[in-house]
Structures are given as C-alpha cells and as structure tokens.
Chains A and B, each alone.
Chain A
Amino acid sequence: AQSVSQHNHHVILSEAASLELGCNYSYGGTVNLFWYVQYPGQHLQLLLKYFSGDPLVKGIKGFEAEFIKSKFSFNLRKPSVQWSDTAEYFCAVNAPLLNTDKLIFGTGTRLQVFP
C-alpha cells in the first residue's frame, strides 16, 4: 500500500526565514501530488498540485514545490515566510494506477511563524 511521510512534525521559524517542508511517498509509478494548508480553525485549502509537466510547481501565496521522481519527494518551499503562514500543512498523493479514487494524506506538519 502506498504511504506518505512528512518527517517534520512541527517547524518553528521567524518571519522572513526560508521554509522547506519534506514530503516523501512510497509508490514508484505515476502519481499526482498535492499540498493542502489548514489555517487555525479553518478547513483545508489547496496550495498547489502536480500531475504532469514542469516538476516545479508554483502555488498560491508564494509557495512552490518540486517533484523529484528519483527521490520520491515533493517538498514544499517558500523563500520568505510570514506570520500569516502559521498553519498545518498536509502533503497528499494519488496513484491513479493503484487506487484510482483515493487521496492518501501525510500526517501533517505544523508550522509556527513568529514575528
């Protein structure tokens, strides 16, 4: 069965610091990859997604992620975080040839940004 790992459970940064959150998945075939964000007290929102084409994907609010197939990774990055980026971030994977209709989520990374 496929799995998604987010090794950083809790990240604390100061404003203007650079951010990289790790996401690794276990399936070697075709994958669709997603990053969702959950601001405090709110529902999940899609940050960005990759399903084909340029492996460097740009999302909303200055976030980007890079799909590296050889490393089974889809790390989320932002060059300069803001206090408003404080949230929980979830990586998710769909493997259309394995289980077509399901999204598998990672356990999440809680980001705290201090002014």
Chain B
Amino acid sequence: EAQVTQNPRYLITVTGKKLTVTCSQNMNHEYMSWYRQDPGLGLRQIYYSMNVEVTDKGDVPEGYKVSRKEKRNFPLILESPSPNQTSLYFCASSLAFLPQETQYFGPGTRLLVL
C-alpha cells in the first residue's frame, strides 16, 4: 500500500532533550516536506527536500534540522526542543514538486514539550 509513515505518532518530552521524528514513504517520491499545524495558524512548512541530499528551509525552520540521505526517509530532528515546538507535525511527499502531482500526507505526530 502506498503510504507515508511517521514515528512516533505521539511523543511527550522535556525541554532540551534531543528527539527525532521519522518519516518514510514507499512511493519513490522525490519531494518530501515537513509541516507543523497549530490552532489558528494552519499548516506552516518547516523544511522541504527536492531530492536526496537537497534540503531547504520553509517558513518556520528555527529549532529544527532535517536530513535526506536516502530517497525514502526524511527525518525531522529537534536538537533542543522547547515548549513552543509543541505541535502537530505532518510529513508529506510527492513524485515531484509540480502542481499536477498530489502531495501525500502522513498520519501526523503529536508532540508535547514540557
């Protein structure tokens, strides 16, 4: 089944404790992206990747890192999480970043930073 998977789905952590949220897709997609969703703010893009070893900042990259060593994986790293990073995070992928290509979203990761 074609899908985008994220792990973990739920995470509670404390300020400053490094964490990684994994994202994997099995559709051989080139484009992958991370968003955070906050009430009243909608989805905001954190980072995106056009292909392996190619990543770029989105609108809210501060406090996050990403890597794209393999086509299928695009982990989101919080080196020193802070409470303002409490949010719902979505990973998405598409064959390429073209309007005719549909973006597929993962199920989301709900993060609480204490």
Contacts and interface: CB of A to CB of B under 8 A. Distances in A.
Interface residues of A, number: 23
Contacts of A49: 99-100, 102
Of B44, B48, B99, chain A has the most CB atoms within 10 Å of the CB of B99
Interface stretch (B66-74, B76-84, B105-113): B105-113
B105 A102 contact: no
Contact of A102 (B41, B45, B90, B108): B45
A100 interface: yes
Nearest to A1: B59
B64 interface: no
Contacts of B103: 46, 103
Contacts of B102: 46, 49
A107 B40 contact: yes
A94 B97 CA distance: 10
Contacts of A105: 35, 42-44
7 contacts: A42-B107, A100-B97, A101-B48, A101-B97, A102-B58, A105-B42, A108-B43
